[in-house]
Amino acid sequence: MKEQVKQKFAELYGEGAVCYASPGRINLIGEHTDYNGGFVFPGAVDKGIVAAIKLNGTDKVRAYALDLGEESVFGLNEEDKPAQSWACYIFGVCREMQKRGGTLGGFDTVFAGDVPLGAGMSSSAALESTFAFAMNELFDCGIDKFELARVGQATEHNYCGVNCGIMDQFASVFGKKGNLMRLDCRSMEYEYFPFDPKGYKLVLVDSRVKHELVGSPYNDRRASCERVAKVLGQEFLRGASMEQLDAVKEQISEEDYKRARYVIGEERRVLDVCEALEKGDYETVGRRMYETHWGMSKDYEVSCEELDFLAGLAEECGVTGSRIMGGGFGGCTINLVKDELYDAFIAKAKSEFNAKYGHEPKIYDVVISDGSRRLE
Ligand code: GLA
């Protein structure tokens, strides 16, 4: 990918570009907990965005998306927001860097990516992190790594309409080869966990379905959680117990109750999984993954028929753990599979899914990799 973007850059804008890269992410457990001040447990993957960039001495950005064959030219003032949605990510990052004191100028860039779109692996965070990291170096902004992750998050909030948490951008910036990261999204303390389960594989089964629900269901889920936290007199749902939730049951809607019940359960599950991993107890890890799946399906209602089918199939095949990954409404399941079961499970997932939905799911073996970086 690096050679391709460099070559296209040379063709369009000349020699002398420098390349930067940032990855997408997986998340072992801890879904929809980040904006609730809870824990997440992601890792960066070996798929991401690569961008060739060179300052151009003007006040304009010329950006070329290699995968789409499209160019966007825009300025760096608030009113210069480009029309193409992909370009808004780059524009938003520049604006957020400026808001944090960065003095930016124009640049040329060609970028490409191999994070499957709509799979719940955060292609957008990979794009944001690539440019936040690069701008910080190229324009010497002196912004620390946590703030770079916040630049990506603020880009989603202010320029892309998604009130996301910090997990994806954090994972993309802070990723470390062979390690998962447990982040406490309230204190922002984090810890690396070497992840190399002997005798198991971590594999994603991508349903390749994306259900566009009416309105903005992700933001709705977040709003539900915030309403319940308010009734509980807390800033976040984090730290609330089931007893506290039950005590206010009459004051909240049934729907909000179910949303909060999932989040409170999920907080405990992340901690359980970390503890189990340290003991090499993968059975517990897997059980919690299934609990997360059905919680996301029945209480949080962000799964869909295809993903419930895949998780159910995994369970039938004796897969240790399986669940929908990421924000939901489509995308993939993440599966913890014993080596000896791997081939049979993948074959069955492909054929049965195909028989029912008319296309095979895509399979990605998870390789936990490094975060944002300059490529030599
Ligand atoms: C999306 C968001 C994250 C997080 C997940 C769900 O990926 O960008 O902040 O909330 O959904 O865990």
pLDDT value, residue 232: 97
What tokens appear for 153 in the block? 């998050």
Q: Which of 25, 29, 32, 236 to mutate to test the pocket of ligand 1 (most atoms within 8 A of CB)?
A: 32
Please name which of 325, 356, 330, 358 lies closest in space to residue 24, comparing C-alpha atoms: 325
pTM above 0.85, yes or no: yes
User: Ligand 1 centroid vs 17 CA: distance in angstroms?
Assistant: 32
Compute, in angstroms, the gap from residue 264 CA to the centroid of ligand 1: 16
Q: Can you list the alpha helix ranges (DSSP code H) found in the chain? A: 2-13, 85-99, 123-138, 145-155, 167-174, 217-231, 242-247, 254-278, 282-294, 305-316, 339-357
- pLDDT, residue 117, reads 86
* 10-residue stretch averages of pLDDT, the chain, 376 residues long: 97 98 98 98 98 98 98 98 96 98 97 92 96 98 97 96 95 98 97 94 95 73 97 96 97 98 97 94 97 98 96 98 94 97 98 98 96 96
Minimum-distance ligand 1 atom for the alpha carbon of 27: 12
- Locus of tokens 């049951």: 249
Q: Which atom of ligand 1 is nearest to 125's Cα? A: 8
pLDDT of residue 119: 87
| pLDDT score, position 341 | 98
Radius of gyration of the chain (CA): 21
Separation of alpha carbons 225 and 183, rounded Å: 19
Looking at residue 376, what is its pLDDT?
Answer: 85
Q: Identify the pLDDT of residue 212.
A: 63
**In the sheet that 70-75 helps form, which strands lie side by side, from edge to edge?**
70-75, 60-65, 107-113, 42-55, 18-27, 373-375
Q: Give the ligand 1 atom nearest the CA of 40.
A: 12
Name every protein residue with a CB atom under 6 angstroms from any ligand 1 atom: 31-32, 34-35, 122, 164-165, 167-168, 326-327
Mutate to test the pocket of ligand 1, among 40, 168, 188, 332 (most ligand atoms within 8 A of CB): 168
